[in-house]
Chains A and B, each alone.
Chain A
Amino acid sequence: MKLFLLVLKNIRRNLLRSILTGLGTMVLVVVVIMVWSILWYLDEQTREKTSNIKAIVTERWQMPSRMPLSYAPELCAGSARRPEHVRPQDSMTWQFYVGSTEPGRLSRESALFIVATQPEKVLTMFDELDTLPPDSPDRRQLEKAIQALKTNRQALIVGRERLEAINKRVGERVKVYGMSFKRIDLEFDIVGTFPEGRWNNLSVMNWEYLNAAVDAYNRQPGNRPHPMTERSLAIVWLKVPDTRSFTAVATQIAASPSFTNPQVKVETLASGTAAFLEAFRDLIWGMRYFLMPAAVVTLCLVIANAISLSVRERRKEFAVLKVLGFRPAHILGLVLGEAMVLGVVSGLLSAAGVFMVINFVFGGLKFPIGFFGTFYIPVRAIWWGLAVGSATALIGSLVPAWIACRVRVAEIFARVG
């Protein structure tokens, strides 16, 4: 503690340099934290769980997956045909209706990516929505919107960013011109939004509305059956309690004679996401193995440079300390301490700052990759900031600190005298 005060005073010695070093550290820690947040989130999404597993059933050989809607009932039951068969705890079907608010033109300002599903499943099967606290305002608001989705087939829940992009508000009506279901245009009442976060760009409609519209199209005199009639089902989601149940359900579906044309595949959400992210493999590799190390190495060099300058200027001072009885370990500790204080303070400040600014000012980090449009800085990033700041400070200052503690008094004062 006695020497810690000396460390603090030494940091104040060249305040401008200390501030600049701190700022350099902060900028690089911000970069590291933002990249880590994305990688961490993707890792979390692709990490296999052992309980509360979500499985996805898709067409085996084609992307995007297009299965007949007639597959839905059996798939939702996990193809359980015998009493001893395992049944999923919950299930949900997804049909994708992509459309535009402007006829014949799909732009960022007009596009809507709508999932047609069972309204009651939004709160039980959608990631992150299924864990909303029971009494939270977000949940209450969503429950209200889902109720509207059940009672009004034309209801639509739109993600916040999408709602802003198409320049509409809750309560307004919107006509969507079908792009994936050509010639099937739908009118919607916007009844609510999702909580801020992962589903900012998604919209959800009642699946009955879409399927009724397809039926109506097919019934119209002169119309041939709509090409999407037999291939409108994109994904079936199943919730199973554990790995054993997942394996059983996957085996049941694979063994079913119902799913031969087209064939289907069952995988966990994690492995499905990982397969999807394969398309971004190079980008993620670059972030993980090039951008991150580059930022960390640069950070080490910034600190090493600043501390080296400081050590070079203070060689005489270290010699004086040795004359006064300071041991090499004391001097090593003083120099490392200065770097560590700078690193820890800068790391903590930048981590806390980036957490607040990215999450609360910018509403997340916009980095569209796969389904994930917006990333948030996790609270644990504050500890990452601390760890990155202190570790790079330690590494960056090791050599200068070693040089400082090896200062030979006789040589220094021979030069002085």
Chain B
Amino acid sequence: MTSGNSWCVQLRGIHKYFFRGSERLDVLNGLNLEVPEGEFLALMGPSGSGKTTLLNLIAGLDKPSEGEVWVRDQCISAMSEAQLARWRTRNIGFVFQFYHLLPVLTAYENVELPLLLLPLSASQRRQQVETVLELVGLKDRMHHRPGQLSGGQQQRVGIARALVTDPALILADEPTGDLDARSAEEILDLMVELQRSLQKTIILVTHDPRAASRTDRILHLDKGRLVDHLPTESAPPRRSPRVPSGG
């Protein structure tokens, strides 16, 4: 099964619902979405609108109740948990709001974690880790533990960890949500720079209109439906004229 086109992500008729007792809670309602290769996409919406659920579906962390999720040429909604785990190692980089670095490991070791699952020698791993740490400007802090780094630096480590396996798709769940304005701006600069230089497809979930305005396209989710998606080319550089306020 292949999708046979240049979409990086394609969602077809996605429904996601949960049951609380006998009551059905619809989180995503018949959602269709296509994200081209190399696009930097922002997903916005109020709390409970289904943004994180959608991100989890794209990352293969959850399965749709109905519909199909395609990432590049693979229908990941049909994969088993073990297949998905293996697939994620190579194809997905995930950046969390709260960084979620392992406190017992140094920055270097945190970034190295996904590489432990790949058949690489120690020197190959070292080379890849040092390359991405240099890319995020933290090579001089690579032996620091998360507790010895600022929030912005920890998020840079998180980004390096997402990039280290050279995945096609980066998913970022409110990566600036826990940072002060200056650090948030630095992280966004870094992400834009990485997307441009490395041609990664990035899907950014955010409540922050300023963060969303740095992307190529903004989609708005409300009650499990895509209610608005506007290209940002006509706006001032990398800003959308119709970004819904309040996130």
3 closest residue pairs by CB, A with B: A325-B89, A410-B62, A327-B85
Residues of B within 8 A of A322 (CB): 61, 85
Contact with A along B170-208 (1 / 0, CB 8 A): 000110000000000000000000000000000000000
Q: What residue in chain A is nearest B83 (Cβ atoms)?
A: A327
For residues 300 through 344 of chain A, which have their beta carbon under 8 Å from a beta carbon of chain B?
316-317, 320-330
Give, as a whole number of angstroms, the nearest-CB distance from A413 to chain B.
6
Known: A2-B116, A413-B56, A413-B173. A325 touches B88 (CB 8 A): yes
Q: What residue in chain B is nearest A8 (Cβ atoms)?
A: B104
Give, as a whole number of angstroms, the nearest-CB distance from B159 to chain A.
13
Known: A409-B61, A409-B62, A413-B52. A326 touches B85 (CB 8 A): yes
Q: Which of B86, B102, B105, B174 contacts A325 (CB 8 A)?
A: B86
Query: In the bound complex, how far is the Cα of B92 from the Cα of A189, in angstroms?
Result: 89
Query: In the bound complex, how far is the Cα of B94 from the Cα of A222, in angstroms?
Result: 108
Is there an interface contact between B104 and A324, defined as CB atoms closer than 8 Å? no
Give, as a whole number of angstroms, the nearest-CB distance from B107 to chain A.
14
Task: Check: B100 CB closer than 8 A to any chain A CB.
Answer: yes
Known: A9-B105, A409-B62, A413-B52. A327 touches B82 (CB 8 A): yes
Interface size on B, residues (CB 8 A): 32
Q: Which of A323, A326, A327, A416 contacts B59 (CB 8 A)?
A: A323
Task: Check: A12 CB closer than 8 A to any chain B CB.
Answer: yes
Residues of B within 8 A of A410 (CB): 53, 56, 61-62
Q: What residue in chain B is nearest A12 (Cβ atoms)?
A: B104
Task: Check: A3 CB closer than 8 A to any chain B CB.
Answer: yes
Task: Check: B98 CB closer than 8 A to any chain A CB.
Answer: yes
Report 17 cross-chain contacts, Cβ distance below 8 Å, ordered by A residue: A6-B116, A317-B100, A320-B100, A320-B102, A322-B85, A323-B59, A323-B92, A324-B89, A325-B86, A325-B89, A326-B85, A327-B81, A328-B81, A329-B82, A413-B61, A414-B52, A416-B98
Give, as a whole number of angstroms, the nearest-CB distance from A412 to chain B.
10
B-to-A contact residues, CB < 8 Å: 52-53, 56, 59, 61-62, 81-82, 85-86, 88-90, 92, 94, 96-98, 100, 102-105, 109, 113-114, 116-117, 161, 165, 173-174
Task: Check: A104 CB closer than 8 A to any chain B CB.
Answer: no
Q: What residue in chain B is nearest A410 (Cβ atoms)?
A: B62
Give, as a whole number of angstroms, the nearest-CB distance from A367 to chain B.
44
Q: What residue in chain A is nearest B117 (Cβ atoms)?
A: A325
Query: In the bound complex, how far is the Cα of B57 from the Cα of A410, in angstroms?
Result: 9
Residues of B within 8 A of A321 (CB): 113
14 more contacts with CB within 8 A, not counting A328-B82, A417-B173, are A316-B100, A321-B113, A322-B85, A323-B59, A323-B94, A324-B113, A326-B85, A327-B81, A328-B81, A328-B85, A410-B62, A413-B52, A413-B96, A413-B173
Residues of A within 8 A of B114 (CB): 324-325
Residues of B within 8 A of A3 (CB): 116
Q: What residue in chain B is nearest A409 (Cβ atoms)?
A: B61
Query: In the bound complex, how far is the Cα of B116 from the Cα of A226, in angstroms?
Result: 87
Is there an interface contact between A323 and B97, defined as CB atoms closer than 8 Å? no
Residues of A within 8 A of B104 (CB): 9-10, 12-13
Is there an interface contact between A417 and B89, defined as CB atoms closer than 8 Å? no
Query: In the bound complex, how far is the Cα of B59 from the Cα of A327, in angstroms?
Result: 14
Is there an interface contact between B85 and A325, defined as CB atoms closer than 8 Å? yes
Known: A316-B100, A323-B59, A324-B94. A417 touches B86 (CB 8 A): no
Q: Which of B56, B102, B105, B113 contacts A409 (CB 8 A)?
A: B56
Residues of A within 8 A of B96 (CB): 320, 413
Query: In the bound complex, how far is the Cα of B105 from the Cα of A9, in angstroms?
Result: 7
